[in-house]
Amino acid sequence: MGGGSKGDGPKRKDWEGGVRDARPGDRRTLIRMMAALQDHERALEPTRRPGHTMAEPHVDWLIAVAREAEGRVLVAEEGGPGSRPLGFLVCWVERAGGFHVEPSHDHYGMLTDCFVVPDARGRGVSRALIAVAEAHFRALGLSWVIVHHLARNQGASEAYDAMGYAPLEIARAKRL
């Protein structure tokens, strides 16, 4: 979640827009937002590539994975149809594989690449995007949703905590 949605200063007017599935005409906007998300994450974790070098192929990959894995690419808009896009979220169904989790947890919803433009943060945009993704997963009969974020992304961590997400696994890295 780019920059987070909580702790960004004083609360702004609640957002009154809508969430819809991305359309082919959104591709340029998604690429621009992906580059901004990536640059935000690169400031936190230097192993990330610069946004302008990865955004276009990554957006195309996300769209393909969402299509193949019962997912969605969601866009939040300022107001009615055709208004300014404020953010996006990609989600899909993952399968744990192996035999280490209970069968009821083998299939779960995955939230990935959530971004909200800076001037719309703190207004409930990411919460609305995530609520639509969660409803999609419930409709598919799933009972779990997982989201990953960079350990140093405190804003995302606080926002996900506020929405009821709790740590599940800890990944650690070591430079060799």
- Which of the residue ranges 52-66, 98-112, 146-160 has the most confident prediction, judged by mean pLDDT? 52-66
Domains of the chain with CATH codes: 18-22+66-162 (3.40.630.30)
- Residue 172 predicted with pLDDT over 70: yes
Across the range 10-28, mean pLDDT stands at 84
Percent of the chain scoring above 90 in pLDDT: 74
Q: Is pLDDT at 20 greater than 80 in this prediction?
A: yes
Averaged pLDDT for residues 109-131 = 95
Question: Which of 78, 146, 91, 149 minimizes the C-alpha distance to 117?
Answer: 78
Strand-pair category, 145-147 with 107-116: parallel
Reported confidence tier of residue 138, pLDDT bands at 50, 70, 90? very high
Measured in degrees and rounded to the nearest 5, phi and psi for residue 108 equal: -150, 160
Cα Rg of the chain, angstroms: 16
> Does the structure show a pLDDT above 60 at 114?
yes
Cβ–Cβ under 8 Å, residues 138 and 113: no
What is the secondary structure of 47-116 as a DSSP string? Answer: TSPPHHHHHHHHHHHHHHHHHHTT-EEEEEESSSTT--EEEEEEEEEEE--SSSS-GGGSEEEEEEEEEE
What backbone phi and psi angles, to 5 degrees, belong to 9? Answer: 105, -160
Q: What is the pLDDT of residue 101?
A: 81
The answer on pLDDT for 111 being more than 80 is: yes
Does the pTM of the predicted model rise above 0.85? Answer: yes
**Pick from 14-28, 41-55, 56-70, 126-140: least confident:** 14-28
146: three-class secondary structure by DSSP: strand
Say if residue 7's pLDDT is above 50: no
Considering the chain, what is the average pLDDT of its residues? 90
